[in-house]
């Protein structure tokens, strides 16, 4: 399915919504950002039970997202789990003037799941030893999950090389759901733009 249109430059804020049906037995949905300005236009995918399952924006170098029934094969910024049949929604929120065309492709599949790179779930339930009096941390950063140039793997190397104690990943309009395997606190964050 292809959803496309043109943002109205006469409207400062614009909300668009598209509905589509997911058949019973679906185990993977691909969301492809095929066309759109590299801007902070927020994109969300909502399932038939009203839960947000994907949250990203056009301001990302990642243009393809997989939502599946399994964590290992689901893309970052997506929440895996059952894919209930019924009416799903794609919502676009343009928070400022953007004059461009956009196009999104949704592919609904029932097939083999794709194994992704070695990542771990972000969790706030982990405990870390409290042995220092001062902590070095990164409170604001972007990877290529939004508009940064560095991959998550490259960021992991920087964190280890610089002996950073904790990190707040702050991608634009997205909350990461997985991160490189680190023995350091990763606190889910976002930069709302």
pLDDT tens for residues 68-112? 988 888 888 899 999 999 999 999 999 888 888 999 999 998 876
User: What would the two tokens of residue 137 be?
Assistant: 């941390």
Based on the domain organization, do 147 and 56 belong to the same domain? no
pLDDT average, residue stretch 164-184: 83
Q: What is the pLDDT of residue 108?
A: 92
Q: What is the pLDDT of residue 82?
A: 93
Among 61, 91, 109, the domain-final residue is: 109
What stretch of H or E contains 5?
strand 2-6
Query: Does residue 50 come out as left (phi exceeding 0), alpha (psi in the -120 to 50 range) or beta?
Result: left
As a whole number of angstroms, the distance between CA 51 and CA 47 comes to 5
Based on the domain organization, do 126 and 186 belong to the same domain? yes
User: What would the two tokens of residue 38 be?
Assistant: 């590299």
Based on the domain organization, do 84 and 25 belong to the same domain? yes
Among 50, 79, 109, the domain-final residue is: 109
Based on the domain organization, do 87 and 126 belong to the same domain? no
Evaluate whether 145 touches 62 at the Cβ level (below 8 Å): yes
As a whole number of angstroms, the distance between CA 164 and CA 182 comes to 11
Based on the domain organization, do 104 and 182 belong to the same domain? no
Nearest to 89 by CA among 41, 53, 62, 56: 53
As a whole number of angstroms, the distance between CA 142 and CA 24 comes to 37
Based on the domain organization, do 156 and 65 belong to the same domain? no
Based on the domain organization, do 96 and 154 belong to the same domain? no
Based on the domain organization, do 127 and 83 belong to the same domain? no
Based on the domain organization, do 127 and 165 belong to the same domain? yes
CATH of residue 38's domain is: 2.60.120.380
As a whole number of angstroms, the distance between CA 136 and CA 113 comes to 38
Q: What is the pLDDT of residue 71?
A: 84
Kindly report the number of other CB atoms within 10 A of residue 81's CB atom: 15
Residue 156: pLDDT band with limits 50, 70, 90: confident
As a whole number of angstroms, the distance between CA 39 and CA 18 comes to 20
User: How many structural domains is the chain composed of?
Assistant: 2
User: What would the two tokens of residue 131 be?
Assistant: 């042995």
User: What would the two tokens of residue 70 be?
Assistant: 């399994």
**Residue count of the chain:** 193
* pTM of structure: 0.76
Among 88, 109, 130, the domain-final residue is: 109
Range of the domain at 153: 118-193
Based on the domain organization, do 151 and 130 belong to the same domain? yes
Based on the domain organization, do 131 and 193 belong to the same domain? yes
Q: How much of the chain, in percent, has pLDDT values that exceed 90?
A: 40
Based on the domain organization, do 124 and 79 belong to the same domain? no
First to last CA, the chain: 28
Evaluate whether 165 touches 129 at the Cβ level (below 8 Å): no
Quick one: how far is CA 53 from the chain centroid?
9
Kindly report the number of other CB atoms within 10 A of residue 68's CB atom: 22
pLDDT average, residue stretch 103-125: 75
From 11-25, 83-97, 173-187, the region with the lowest mean pLDDT: 173-187
Q: What is the pLDDT of residue 129?
A: 62
């Amino acid at each position: 399915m292809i959803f496309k249109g043109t943002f109205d430059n006469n409207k400062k804020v614009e909300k668009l919504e598209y509905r589509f049906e997911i058949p019973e037995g679906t185990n993977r949905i691909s969301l492809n950002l095929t066309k759109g300005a590299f801007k902070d236009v927020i994109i969300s995918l909502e399932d038939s039970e009203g839960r947000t399952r994907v949250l990203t924006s056009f301001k990302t170098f990642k243009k393809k997202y997989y939502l599946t029934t399994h964590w290992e094969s689901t893309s970052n910024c997506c929440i895996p789990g059952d894919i209930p049949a019924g009416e799903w929604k794609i919502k676009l929120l343009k928070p400022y003037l953007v004059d461009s065309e956009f196009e999104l492709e949704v592919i609904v599949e029932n097939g083999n799941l794709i194994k992704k790179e070695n990542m771990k779930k972000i969790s706030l339930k982990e405990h870390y030893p409290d042995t220092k009096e001062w902590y070095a941390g990164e409170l604001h950063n972007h990877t290529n999950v939004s508009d940064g140039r560095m991959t998550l793997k490259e960021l992991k190397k920087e964190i280890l090389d610089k002996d950073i104690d904790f990190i707040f990943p702050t991608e634009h309009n997205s909350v990461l759901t997985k991160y490189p395997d680190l023995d350091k606190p990763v606190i889910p964050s976002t930069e709302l733009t």
